[in-house]
Amino acid sequence: MSSTTTSTTTSTSTSTSTSTSTSTNGNTATTPAERTGARTDEAAALIGGARERIDTLDDRIIGLVQERMAVSAVIQEARITSGGRRVNLSRETAVLGHYRDALGKPGTALAMTLLELCRGRV
């Protein structure tokens, strides 16, 4: 019987933490507007849906970065095995230019991060 009570308590605790969040000033936000910083429930609903979409996009981006890292590892292994260097600087320069052209100056920083992730460990 006590395990049933514990299970119920755990379930209640989980649902409570899902429906509330703590704001930067330490207050507990309980309404959708408070959780999103919106002034109306309508705006909060829009923001909530958009945030879910961003979370989905972030998951896809992370998956693509992981895939890029795996492909890069295959390329590096082939290059090293054939007697070449692990990094091809002219290729990296082309990647930096591609991201800069598509996204502006912040694109260069993003490309640098991707290249660093994809270089692997020495």
The answer to whether residue 39 is domain-embedded is: yes
The answer to whether residue 95 is domain-embedded is: yes
User: What is the rounded average pLDDT for all residues in the chain?
Assistant: 82
Domains of the chain: total: 2
Give the model confidence (pLDDT) of 35-48 as tens digits: 888 989 899 999 99
Higher pLDDT, 41 or 57: 57
Distances (CA, A) of 52 to 46, 61, 62: 10, 14, 15
Q: Are 107 and 100 in contact (CB under 8 A)?
A: yes
- Residue 94 structural domain: 87-122
Q: Are residues 100 and 80 in the same domain?
A: no
In which band, very low, low, confident or very high, does the pLDDT at 120 lie, cut at 50, 70 and 90?
confident
The answer to whether residue 101 is domain-embedded is: yes
